């Protein structure tokens, strides 16, 4: 989905300040904070010993550390964005979000990502340099937690080689986000364990209430005041940024509960393949593999002026975000569950700039497909401010100010088209979409 350019966009592995805990409202670049900054880094060796013991991973080589200012961290972010994502990819992702009503038509994705990460990054580990960097403005009360988080990444790198995730194959962002959730969830759960131990609290984190449920239920009213860029961010950015930490922590917790650290370590070789597996760890434990969908080229149905500028997988989490933008979140969550596989294509008209999105989705059961069909129909009506579909049309036809939109249900599959210029073009596109192929990944 959009996740590739929203959260897996950095090749370094970071801890966001929202996770570091409360008490950051007074963060300033003062002399006292600089002193705390040095004290935090001086504590790295002691923290590393504790982290290595808690995580069950030996330290294979020294880990270097240093502190960075906001301006220095921003330079890292910009460098990494430019190395990992081309202007064309940023443009395509932005157009996809605009077409589906997730952001305003003038939204500048790259610029907002820089502002958001500048606000949120509390520290990060860079596998290229084998060094972790600490936000210089954090108070000492928060620094050790961040150091613990980043040292997990350093140990992961020493044992599992994080550099192998630098160049993820394009067109499967859902699986990429799942792997990112494994990596960040591991570090987040350990950070929580470390922090509780520091406070002298005896709590079996692995067997406690779901970390995901706990983190999702936390009151964020104060957080919105502390982090205005995050608070003002479109839902898709906000929730996608938090997914690897919030859902990832719950996934790792469930994995350790079922298979201990040994099972967690094996998951770095037998990787999770979808956000569905992260959101429902039993799917991973039972080897419920997602279905790979291949959509045929739609150029013949569209004409020479149209060009495919993006294609990817939304996944269960992607559809949760897409639906919950316009329908109640409970309904969106129910409709997104039962996801089996999907793919979307985004086309742009070179002459007019018009956009068209074609999606093919497959579900675990016919009932799941029906739930998604009904929820997406409601989404279309809300997205385009319509009172409903054209009467007595099958499949339902929506006449929007951005072209014709429709969706069709057949058994366990649902095909969706938004942006067709005519009824005949819409029909031709559906004929092509229903020729899509479905197969298990392995």
Task: For the chain, 442 residues long, give each residue's pLDDT as a single digit of tens.
Answer: 555 445 554 567 888 876 765 322 222 233 333 444 565 577 889 999 999 999 999 999 999 989 999 999 999 999 988 888 899 999 999 999 999 999 999 999 999 999 999 999 999 999 999 999 998 888 877 889 999 999 999 999 999 999 999 888 889 999 999 999 999 999 999 999 999 999 999 889 999 999 999 998 875 556 778 899 999 999 999 999 999 999 999 999 999 999 999 999 999 999 999 999 999 999 999 999 999 999 999 999 999 999 999 999 999 999 999 999 999 999 999 999 999 999 999 999 999 999 999 999 999 999 999 999 999 999 999 999 998 777 667 889 999 999 999 999 999 999 999 999 999 999 999 999 999 999 976 5
Measured distance CA(100)–CA(357) in Å, rounded:
8
HSE-up (13 A, CA, CB side) for residue 430 = 24
Output the DSSP codes for 108-129: -HHHHHHHHHHHHEEEEEETTT
Q: What angle do CA 330, 254, 258 make, to 5 degrees?
A: 140
Residue 15 phi/psi, 5-degree rounding, is -115, 125
* Pairing assessment for the beta strands 291-294 and 437-440 based on DSSP bridges: antiparallel
DSSP state of 417: E
347 contacts 306 by C-beta, under 8 angstroms? yes
For residue 390, is it left (φ>0), alpha (ψ between -120 and 50) or beta? beta
Q: What angle do CA 53, 130, 152 make, to 5 degrees?
A: 25
Q: What radius of gyration do the chain's Cα atoms show? A: 23
Which token pair is 430?
Answer: 């559906």
């Amino acid at each position: 989905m959009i996740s590739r350019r929203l959260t897996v966009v950095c090749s370094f592995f970071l801890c966001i300040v929202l996770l570091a805990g409360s008490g950051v409202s007074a963060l300033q670049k003062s002399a006292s904070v600089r002193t705390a900054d040095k004290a935090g880094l001086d504590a790295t060796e002691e923290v590393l010993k504790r982290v290595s013991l808690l995580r069950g991973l030996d330290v294979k080589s020294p880990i270097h550390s240093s502190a960075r200012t906001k301006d220095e961290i921003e330079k890292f972010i910009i460098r990494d964005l430019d190395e990992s994502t081309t202007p064309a990819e940023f443009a395509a992702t932005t157009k996809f979000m605009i077409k589906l009503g997730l952001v305003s038509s003038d939204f500048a994705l790259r610029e907002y990502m820089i502002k958001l990460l500048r606000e949120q990054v509390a520290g990060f580990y860079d596998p290229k340099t084998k060094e972790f960097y600490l936000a210089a403005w954090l108070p000492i009360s928060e620094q050790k937690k961040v150091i613990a988080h980043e040292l997990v990444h350093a140990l992961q790198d020493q044992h599992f080689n994080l550099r192998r995730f630098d160049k993820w194959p394009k067109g499967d962002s859902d699986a990429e986000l799942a792997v990112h959730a494994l990596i960040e969830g591991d570090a987040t759960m350990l950070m929580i364990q470390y922090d509780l131990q520091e406070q002298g609290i005896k709590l079996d984190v692995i067997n406690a209430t779901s970390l995901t449920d706990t983190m999702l239920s936390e009151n964020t009213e104060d957080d919105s005041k502390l982090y205005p860029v995050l608070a003002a961010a479109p839902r898709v950015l906000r929730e996608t940024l938090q997914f690897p930490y919030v859902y990832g922590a719950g996934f790792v917790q469930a994995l350790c509960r079922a298979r201990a650290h040994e099972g967690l370590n094996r998951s770095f070789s037998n990787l999770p393949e979808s956000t569905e597996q992260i959101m429902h760890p039993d799917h991973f434990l039972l080897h419920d593999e997602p279905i790979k969908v291949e959509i045929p080229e739609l150029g013949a149905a569209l004409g020479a002026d149209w060009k495919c500028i993006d294609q990817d997988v939304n996944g269960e989490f992607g559809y949760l975000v897409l639906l919950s933008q316009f329908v109640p979140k409970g309904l969106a969550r129910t409709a997104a569950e039962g996801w089996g596989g999907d793919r979307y294509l985004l086309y742009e008209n070179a002459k007019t700039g018009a956009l068209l999105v074609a999606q093919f989705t497959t579900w675990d059961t016919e009932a799941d497909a029906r739930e998604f069909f009904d929820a997406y129909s409601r989404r279309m009506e809300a997205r385009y401010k319509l009172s409903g579909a054209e009467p007595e049309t099958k499949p339902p036809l929506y006449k929007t100010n951005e072209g014709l939109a429709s969706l069709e249900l057949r058994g366990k599959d649902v095909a969706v088209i938004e942006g067709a210029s005519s009824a005949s073009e819409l029909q031709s596109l559906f004929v092509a979409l229903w020729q899509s192929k479905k197969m298990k990944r392995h």
